[in-house]
A and B are shown apart, each in its own frame.
Chain A
Amino acid sequence: MRFFCFHLMPWAYLPEDFAQRYDSAWVTCPNSLYDPELGHPLYNRYLDELELADQLGFEGVCVNEHHQNAYGNMPSPNIMAACLARRTQQAKLVILGNVLPLYDHPQRVAEELAMLDVITKGRVISGMVVGTGMEYFSYNINPTYARERFHEAHDLIIKAWTSDGPFAWEGKHYRFRYINLWPKPYQKPHPPIWIPGSGSPETMQWVAQQRYTYMVLPTLAPFELRRQSAEYFRECCEKGGYAARYEQIGWGIGVYVAETDEQARREYEPHFWYYARNLLKTPPQLSLPPGHTSLATTVGMAERRRRSRPSSLATWAEVERGGYVVVGSPETVRQRLEDYAKRVGFGVLVANFSVGNVPSELTQRSMTLFAQQVMPKLRPVNSDASTVAAAGR
């Protein structure tokens, strides 16, 4: 198992009655609720937590991109990665990911990631995403082109990283006479690519074809739905004529560790509800704009959303039973994650320790307990290296 520490960098100071007063934490959520005086320590605290992850021996730290919302305050994930680049020593910088269709110049994404990769001597893992529906409202990008733009931008970036320039790019959405990347990425042929997703079949089919890593996002969906996604991805790989490696499946999940199960729940639960009821609040017309996913997927997603609406979660028992997050003593967390890992077959764990507005000292204690008492025991589980070593013996 490989371990990564994910951060959403949520806004931690929404008013208590937020969910009653506002219909969305995205797009139209008034930014009068943002306060830079509070934002300054918050950003730095979140960055401290990711730096701690590096010191604790996580293989990498993960940031992502969302716009105009209270859920995640990283409109530019590459800036967050740049902040971390020279303050971390070993950790890979996982950008999960750049929202490619939002940009009219995909070479800017290629350039920034190449800069980070060279500065860090090859510590970058590049995530690329279509982005949530909400981003298409915030950036006025026509969602009916989301998939086309994503694929074309991806192809352009890969070519920019791997081909000698200058070359011309003549596509439908992007046309450039001169693509000529300075700098080129440090890693050859290019930084590893992870594609996070929330279950849309067309994404999984494509990721399987590309032989990239598919990361099942820690969206609040029950374990079983997310397990089915991983299973479908594995089937896509098999259809493509190969077996998915463990490290081709990433598992995003909210994790919280304390001394005892009881203590863990007591400390974590209120912050979980802050996350589920406030930060995830989005009306369906914002999250599913037309064309953002295929017709078939949209029908499926609407159904899936009805079944897994976090807003319909009411009790902690449901949260536990559904496997939405993994919370407990080090031993409980180890057991649950080992069980999940064996049932899902993931070899990359992307743990999100800072759900909602968990105070920093609790987050840091939870991360430390995890790194010291859970990680060592889970490390041998679903390891491609051990499979290879065993096969070689």
Chain B
Amino acid sequence: MTVRNATIAVRGRDILIWRGGAGHPLLFLHDPWTYGWLPIHARLATRYDVILPIHPGFSGSSGFEELDRMEDLVFHYLDLIEVMGLKRPILMGASLGGWIATEFAVRYAEMLRALIPVDPLGLYVPGAPTTDVFQLNPAQTRAALFADATAPLAHELVPDTPPPESIEAMLKARQVFARFAWQFPDNPKLVSYLYRIKCPTLTVWGELDGVVPVSHGRVYQAEVSDAAFTVLPGCGHLPHVEQPEALANTVLQYLERR
């Protein structure tokens, strides 16, 4: 499998796209801490045409200034799917990306073959608050994000002191993340619209997610008509980083059956 990256224009924005594999298109919307091709993408690319666009404002993609509301990102991905000519893609997203994917799906489910939110932000569930990650120091952030906060990968993604070569990319990522997720990373009305998701939906959650409680996954299960729900044991907020094999197996098996 070969991985390519290229910058395409989406309504005047320069968007960096990673792409690898062949098969049905699988559009992967990334989380705020990773913005590049990872082992999870390679695993999914053994079976699918994996497309990983970098969100506007993250390092490599422009357009932050035009983003104000989640709706702006939904329209951005509507434009991107159109520009790239993707036919009924599988829409998968992690964390912030999972929220975007869900917001897309409540509006345009008929365009999707399947929806796969992984530890998505976005729901407001009374009694199950999300963590304010912006008030955490790096050590606390690692503890919230990872089941094993001591893992080298945890330190790489959330270093105590960012290395000079990646500090700008990290600040940009935080800035976009904050625009959508400051204090309350949710849309209080999203739960009431989950019924609009009429495509097959697999929600996956890390059992030990310290950012969004697993109980949010049960709300997906209850509100979405064609919903499957898998909890990955011993895994934190970023299963695609911490347990890419387990997540890929779950996703590939689900998609095989559908």
Interface residues of A (CB under 8 A from B): 27-28, 137, 140, 142-144, 283-286, 289-291, 295, 298-299, 302
Contacts and interface: CB of A to CB of B under 8 A. Distances in A.
Contacts of A302: 167
A305 to B, nearest CB: 12
15 contacts: A137-B135, A137-B183, A140-B182, A140-B184, A142-B178, A143-B178, A144-B175, A144-B179, A285-B134, A285-B135, A290-B175, A290-B177, A290-B178, A295-B172, A299-B171
A27 B135 CA distance: 10
A259 B175 CA distance: 51
A291 B179 contact: yes
A210 B167 CA distance: 32
Contact of B183 (A28, A140, A291): A140
Interface in B30-44: none
Nearest to A148: B65
Nearest to A142: B182
Interface string B164-204: 00011001101101110011100000000000000000000
B137 interface: yes
Contacts of B168: 295, 299
Given A137-B135, A285-B136, A290-B134, A143 B182 contact: yes
A28 B171 CA distance: 24
Interface of B: 134-137, 167-168, 171-172, 174-175, 177-179, 182-184
Given A28-B135, A291-B178, 13 more contacts: A27-B135, A140-B183, A140-B184, A142-B178, A142-B182, A144-B175, A284-B137, A289-B134, A290-B174, A295-B168, A295-B171, A295-B175, A302-B167
Nearest to B173: A290
Nearest to A306: B161
Contacts of B175: 144, 290-291, 295
Contacts of A144: 175, 178-179, 182
A142 B182 CA distance: 6
A27 B174 CA distance: 20
A140 B135 CA distance: 12
Contacts of B178: 142-144, 289-291
- Most interface-central of A283, A290, A299 (chain B CB within 10 A): A290
Nearest to A137: B135
A174 to B, nearest CB: 14
Nearest to A136: B182
Nearest to B133: A285
A149 B70 CA distance: 20
Contacts of B167: 299, 302
B169 to A, nearest CB: 10
Contacts of B183: 137, 140
Contacts of A291: 175, 178-179
A285 B171 CA distance: 12
A286 to B, nearest CB: 6
A259 to B, nearest CB: 45
7 closest A-B pairs by CB = A290-B178, A290-B174, A290-B175, A144-B179, A142-B182, A291-B175, A140-B183
A148 to B, nearest CB: 10
A28 B132 CA distance: 13
Given A142-B182, A143-B178, A144-B178, A290 B135 contact: no
A291 B64 CA distance: 11
Nearest to A298: B171
- Most interface-central of B136, B137, B172, B175 (chain A CB within 10 A): B175
A142 B179 contact: yes
